[in-house]
Amino acid sequence: MPEKRNSRPRLERFQNMDTLARDIERHIVSSLGNDPVAKNRYRYFQGLAHSVRDRLISLWIETQRSYYDAMVKRVYYLSMEFLPGRFLMNYLVNMRMDEATRPVVEGLGFSLEDLEEQEWDAGLGNGGLGRLASCYMDSMATLRIPGYGYGIMYDYGIFHQTIVGGWQEEHCDNWRRHGSPWEIVRRENLYDVHFYGRTETYEDARGLARRRWVDTQKVRAMPCDILIPGYGCEHVTNMRLWAAQSSEDFDLTDFNRGDYMGAMESKVVSENITKVLYPNDKVEQGRELRLKQQYFMVAATFQDIMRRHMKLHGSMSSFPDYVAVQLNDTHPAIAIPELMRLLLDEHALGWDDAWTICTRTFAYTNHTVLPEALETWPVDLLGRLLPRHLEIIYEINRRFLDDVAARFPGEGERLARMSLIGEGHTRTVRMANLAIVGSHTVNGVAALHSEILKNGLFADFHAHWPDKLTNVTNGVTPRRWLLQANPPLSALITDAIGPGWVADLDRLRELVPLAEDAGFRERWAKAKLDNKKRFARYVLRKVNMGVNPKTMFDVQVKRMHEYKRQLLNVMHVVALYNRIREDPGARHTPRTVFFGGKAAPGYQQAKLIIRLINAVADTVNSDPAVQGLLRVAFLPNYCISQAEKIIPAADLSEQISTAGMEASGTGNMKFAMNGALTIGTLDGANVEIMEEVGAQNIFIFGLTAHEVEAMRRGGYNPREYYDRDPELRRVLDMIGTGAFLPSSPHLFRPLVDSLLEHGDWYMLLADFRDYVDTQRRVDRLFDDPDAWTRVSILNAANMGKFSSDRSVREYAERIWNAPPLGR
């Protein structure tokens, strides 16, 4: 047995600040080639970042040695997105160096906040899927689960959003333009990834017929590591992100005859694979590039996994005993035929042995209940790009459908629904079906979501494998989303119950009796007001708009999508605006309503909603009749660093998606953890939040998921709601006839038509009255600050379940069978 290492002295050595100032200045000279006498913020940020990285690398090396010493099972979390935000403060907080670093930096002439602002958010993801992956990486490291994240090192993020004339404009998110001090580039470990070509049959040395993939085009994958430290311990793991490199720099023959562009063409095309997160898949080239990205990531990852496994164990027979692979949504599902290809073609296993290894290795997390959101690929495209994989998918499907037919004889429609191949106008490969068939466990991400999967979306698979589908409710890391993002509140909590809550969020329940303590409520309210003042300064700087911190901060920040119903929120704002104007002498609760989020570049309806929000904001904010009572702001370029400012400041969290549409949500957890009260539907994790905090401490409205389905089946008529509700009718008429943009009176008519003429699929009109009435309940509670603060404390106190530590622990125990590394 290896000698047990003592972690505390080593960690305390890295927390020692005696050499930090010298290290910063040394890196400014040796790493950047600059003079530290020039007090440049960016240079000092880089110097500090490199000094922190030095300490991380030493801990990472020891962590990797401990994996090899203990011969542990390792977890590989495959995700096309990670959304880590800025790294500097997260590293300092998790290494418990933040408070000691602050005076060192101040002694050099800066504030820590000054240097933090020099870091650009990493453009490695888009929304909740990527942020969840990053929370899970934090928890895996903190819980000492041996594992890694695998993804792509995108040069350009989704896009940088600006608002020009009220419209969203997309700009290149060149987040790596100044380089990143956190990347560790492994140029010595390149892997070849193949595309196109053809397959052929040959005889192996034993005279057996086998298949192989030949005449391919080759791209090289270069690993780039970004380190992930656990909280308060020496355990440091990493994300390994792949960057594409051409197998040849350029064609010298073309270059010598003067065709300089042609000489570079192959290199440029090859390296395009990792240029952009989510290339536009509305065009054929974009679809092909997206599939290339997915296979590129998977192929490089499995070469890396197998290299590591064979070095330790020498045989593939034990592969599932030491390797657990989690597919974060369907994007990496091509990993299933890739592992089969490697086992069949490279390791010469028979089909049954290879399939057993494969299905024991993979688990799949589903993140959507929308059938149209389940990924499919045209058979022609997949067959052209990955011909061997299509052959394997066909064989998986043949054997699988034989099993289904044996169990459910004569049920041709069932076979058609469950087939890996969709037989529509264009034949497609159904990646979700492939992920289910090729995995030992499939999980949803909230209790309601998982029930919908079992009884609706994947009901056929649940009937075939009653024990395969399970639930692991999402969680968020309290280190990032409370300790780091909310210093005033986290300091108050620590002062009240001690620091143990940071790594054991269930300890927040110790706050419950303090909700009845008037002095504690006063300190809680002050922490919230401090955050609101800080955020008000941010809003003034970002959008040149002053806001009153004593108003209710009503916040909806998330990806722009019709099912998330930002339009319903705008409709409430218009109703509120009308009420104030019609009865200015009545008691109105002052509100500042914040929106933020990006619309996909090709999603015109979502872009039009952004334009409407800004038009309503212009009207409301310029009307003296509502001054001091109502303000509206759209915050451009919503991202992790912006979320860290707005979430601690929010009073009211808008989680108003149509019931049955949101798989889970994690924004709802972050807001409630920071003491915001939720107004929402019984959708996603809202259901479980209500169970934890109590129905009396959350504002629930609207149809349930079952009621939504029943109304759709029974013939929902949105115009009935329009006809019988004068306030609703007035709101829609104002939007549809140009009240908020007289220069273009018909611009917003498509939004109204989507509700009245095209069926209101997301049932805004059915939920409008209950939503508006529930907002009146919100007003009444906010008008009693002491009562509001009491409920705010109870919300935060009951959020222990929604720590990503709990989620990852469930994965490790129930799905991965991967125990934590011993201390």
Band (pLDDT 50/70/90 cuts) for residue 308 is: very high
Measured between alpha carbons, how far is 555 from 649 in angstroms, rounded to an integer? 9
Q: Torsion angle, CA of 98/173/138/365, rounded to 10 degrees? A: 160
Residue 271 half-sphere exposure, CB side, CA atoms within 13 Å?
14
Measured between alpha carbons, how far is 181 from 87 in angstroms, rounded to an integer? 10
CA-based nearest residue to 328, from 443, 447, 471: 443
Mark 575-584 as b/e (b = at least 16 C-beta within 10 Å).
bbbebbeeee
Q: Give yes or no for a contact between 192 and 172, defined as CB atoms under 8 angstroms apart.
A: no
Judged against a pLDDT cut of 80, whether residue 252 lies above it is answered with: no
Phi (first) and psi of residue 447, to 5 degrees: -60, -45
Q: Give yes or no for a contact between 231 and 503, defined as CB atoms under 8 angstroms apart.
A: yes
**DSSP 3-state assignment of 414?**
helix
Q: Give yes or no for a contact between 305 and 326, defined as CB atoms under 8 angstroms apart.
A: no
Judged against a pLDDT cut of 80, whether residue 574 lies above it is answered with: yes
- Which residue is listed with tokens 């972690």? 7
pLDDT attached to residue 7: 39
**Structure-token pair, residue 61:** 């090396």
HEC assignment per residue over 273-336: HHCECCCCCCCHHHHHHHHHHHHHHHHHHHHHHHHHHHHHHCCHHHHHHHEEEEEECCCCCCHH
Judged against a pLDDT cut of 60, whether residue 10 lies above it is answered with: no
How is the chain split among helix, strand and coil, in percent rounded to 5? 55, 15, 30
For the question of residue 292 being annotated catalytic, the response is no
Amino acid at 429: V
Tens of pLDDT along 472-504? 999 999 999 999 999 999 999 999 999 999 999
Measured between alpha carbons, how far is 361 from 191 in angstroms, rounded to an integer? 22
Residues 275, 279, 283, 289, CA torsion sign: positive
pLDDT attached to residue 4: 38
Name residues whose C-beta falls within 8 Å of residue 41's C-beta, 6 or more positions apart in sequence. Answer: 110, 114, 115, 117, 118
Q: Give yes or no for a contact between 274 and 123, defined as CB atoms under 8 angstroms apart.
A: no
CA-based nearest residue to 510, from 522, 531, 489, 496: 496
**DSSP 3-state assignment of 31?**
coil
Amino acid at 545: M
Measured between alpha carbons, how far is 166 from 609 in angstroms, rounded to an integer? 10
Measured between alpha carbons, how far is 792 from 486 in angstroms, rounded to an integer? 15
Q: Count CB atoms within 10 A of the CB of residue 365.
A: 27
Measured between alpha carbons, how far is 731 from 727 in angstroms, rounded to an integer? 6
Measured between alpha carbons, how far is 227 from 640 in angstroms, rounded to an integer? 18
**Structure-token pair, residue 787:** 């009562």
Phi (first) and psi of residue 188, to 5 degrees: -85, -10
Of the listed 27, 74, 290, 367, which one is catalytic?
367
Residue 634 half-sphere exposure, CB side, CA atoms within 13 Å?
31
Measured between alpha carbons, how far is 489 from 481 in angstroms, rounded to an integer? 11
Q: Which pairing describes strands 441-444 and 362-365: parallel, antiparallel, or unpaired?
A: parallel
For the question of residue 558 being annotated catalytic, the response is yes
- Which residue is listed with tokens 């024991």? 360
Of the listed 559, 572, 645, 809, which one is catalytic?
559
Measured between alpha carbons, how far is 516 from 514 in angstroms, rounded to an integer? 5
Kindly give the interhelix angle for 785-797 and 764-782, rounded to the nearest 10 degrees. 110
Q: Give yes or no for a contact between 217 and 195, defined as CB atoms under 8 angstroms apart.
A: yes
Measured between alpha carbons, how far is 365 from 95 in angstroms, rounded to an integer? 30
What is 152-186 written as a DSSP string? E--SB-S-EEEEETTEEEEE---TTTT--TT-EE-
Strands (E) in 689-795, as ranges, are 699-700
For the question of residue 666 being annotated catalytic, the response is yes
Kindly give the interhelix angle for 487-497 and 518-543, rounded to the nearest 10 degrees. 160
Kind and range of the H or E run holding 718: helix 718-724
Of the listed 160, 292, 670, 809, which one is catalytic?
670
Long-range Cβ contact pairs of 490-494 (< 8 A, separation 24 or more): 491/527, 492/523, 492/524, 492/527, 493/796
pLDDT attached to residue 823: 60
Tens of pLDDT along 739-753? 999 999 999 999 999
Judged against a pLDDT cut of 90, whether residue 413 lies above it is answered with: yes
Judged against a pLDDT cut of 80, whether residue 236 lies above it is answered with: yes
Q: Give yes or no for a contact between 80 and 331, defined as CB atoms under 8 angstroms apart.
A: yes
Q: Give yes or no for a contact between 242 and 223, defined as CB atoms under 8 angstroms apart.
A: yes
Kindly give the interhelix angle for 41-70 and 20-30, rounded to the nearest 10 degrees. 100
Phi (first) and psi of residue 79, to 5 degrees: -145, 135
DSSP 362: E
pLDDT attached to residue 491: 98
pLDDT attached to residue 270: 76
What is 441-474 written as a DSSP string? EEEESSHHHHHHIIIIITHHHHHH-TTTEEE---
Judged against a pLDDT cut of 90, whether residue 525 lies above it is answered with: yes
pLDDT attached to residue 11: 54
Chain centre distance of CA 312: 33
Band (pLDDT 50/70/90 cuts) for residue 246 is: confident
Measured between alpha carbons, how far is 263 from 259 in angstroms, rounded to an integer? 6
**Structure-token pair, residue 629:** 């009572």
Judged against a pLDDT cut of 80, whether residue 685 lies above it is answered with: yes
DSSP 499: G
Average pLDDT over residues 715-722: 97
pLDDT attached to residue 257: 66
DSSP 661: T
Measured between alpha carbons, how far is 759 from 753 in angstroms, rounded to an integer? 9
In the sheet with 552-557, reading across from the earlier edge strand, the strands are 630-635, 591-596, 552-557, 652-655, 677-680, 699-700
Amino acid at 737: T
Instruction: Look over the chain and give the mean of its residue pLDDT values, rounded to a whole number.
Output: 94
Of the listed 589, 666, 678, 681, which one is catalytic?
666
The percentage of the chain sitting over the pLDDT mark of 90, rounded to a whole number, equals 87
First to last CA, the chain: 13
- Which residue is listed with tokens 């549809």? 736
Q: Count CB atoms within 10 A of the CB of residue 588.
A: 17
Average pLDDT over residues 364-377: 90
For the question of residue 367 being annotated catalytic, the response is yes
Q: Count CB atoms within 10 A of the CB of residue 310.
A: 13
The percentage of the chain sitting over the pLDDT mark of 70, rounded to a whole number, equals 95
Distances in whole angstroms, Cα of residue 416 to Cα of each of 262, 412, 425: 47, 6, 14
For the question of residue 564 being annotated catalytic, the response is yes
pLDDT attached to residue 255: 59
Of the listed 55, 240, 564, 809, which one is catalytic?
564
Tens of pLDDT along 382-403? 999 999 999 999 999 999 999 9
